[in-house]
Amino acid sequence: MNRLALFMPIILFLVLSVILLLGLDKNPTDLPSALVGKPFPVFNLPSLDSENGLLNQQDISGEAALVNVWATWCYACRIEHGMLNELASSGVKIIGLNYKDNQQDAMRWLELRGDPYVFSVFDAQGSLGIDLGVYGAPETFLLDADGVIRFRRVGVIDERVWADEFKPLYEQLKATSE
């Protein structure tokens, strides 16, 4: 019994080492979403610019699109915004979800930095964000033409992320909706 007690710290160390080694190949930005493969949540919220009145999930369906969660208080959104403008100018349909923000600040942000969005849903209370399981901003959802969520990304979209994670699936979804 005494010998087992002597080896217990080594055994515990080996077990913990194996567990930690198994976690090394995991991507910490991969946050599984229970909504992938399911329709975009039902919502009825105002347009950020108030020109489009109330918006709902039918307004985001009809063709493949990105839904980008953003806010003026989000530093990473500033980093991502230039890429979103490039994508929009190349024909990618992007819908904004302005999350827990001030409406006037958000409008000013788009005036200063450019507006890559077909329209932005104004989610002042964060209710749609909660339904989507949003952790923060930026987050981006890829929808098919039927409004079904096909992919989710937490974090900034840059050239590499677009090319590796979004573009192939976006082009496939766009081709099937035409």
Residue 48: give the domain boundaries: 33-177
The answer to whether residue 170 is domain-embedded is yes
69/46 Cα distance (integer angstroms): 15
Q: Measured between alpha carbons, how far is residue 135 from residues 29, 95, 128 in Å?
A: 11, 18, 12
Where residue 116 sits, what CATH number does that domain have? 3.40.30.10
The answer to whether residue 15 is domain-embedded is no
* Angle of CA points 85, 90, 96, to nearest 5°: 45
99/122 Cα distance (integer angstroms): 7
- Name the pTM for this structure: 0.81
The answer to whether residue 132 is domain-embedded is yes
140/117 Cα distance (integer angstroms): 13
Measured over the CA atoms of residue 39, residue 166, residue 157 and residue 46, the dihedral's sign is: negative
Which residues have CB under 8 Å from 146's CB, separation 6+?
39, 61
Per-residue pLDDT of the chain (178 residues; tens, 9 = 90+): 577 677 777 777 777 776 777 766 655 555 556 789 999 999 999 999 987 789 999 999 999 999 999 999 999 999 999 999 999 999 999 999 999 999 999 999 999 999 999 999 999 999 999 999 998 899 999 999 999 999 999 999 999 999 999 999 999 999 887 6
The answer to whether residue 26 is domain-embedded is no
The confidence score (pLDDT) of residue 26 equals 57
Shortest CA distance to 148 belongs to which of 91, 88, 87, 63?
63
Yes or no: say if 101 and 69 are a contact pair by the CB < 8 Å rule. no
133/143 Cα distance (integer angstroms): 16
The answer to whether residue 126 is domain-embedded is yes
Domain count, the chain: 1
The answer to whether residue 11 is domain-embedded is no
Yes or no: say if 48 and 103 are a contact pair by the CB < 8 Å rule. yes
The answer to whether residue 18 is domain-embedded is no
The confidence score (pLDDT) of residue 147 equals 95
The answer to whether residue 88 is domain-embedded is yes
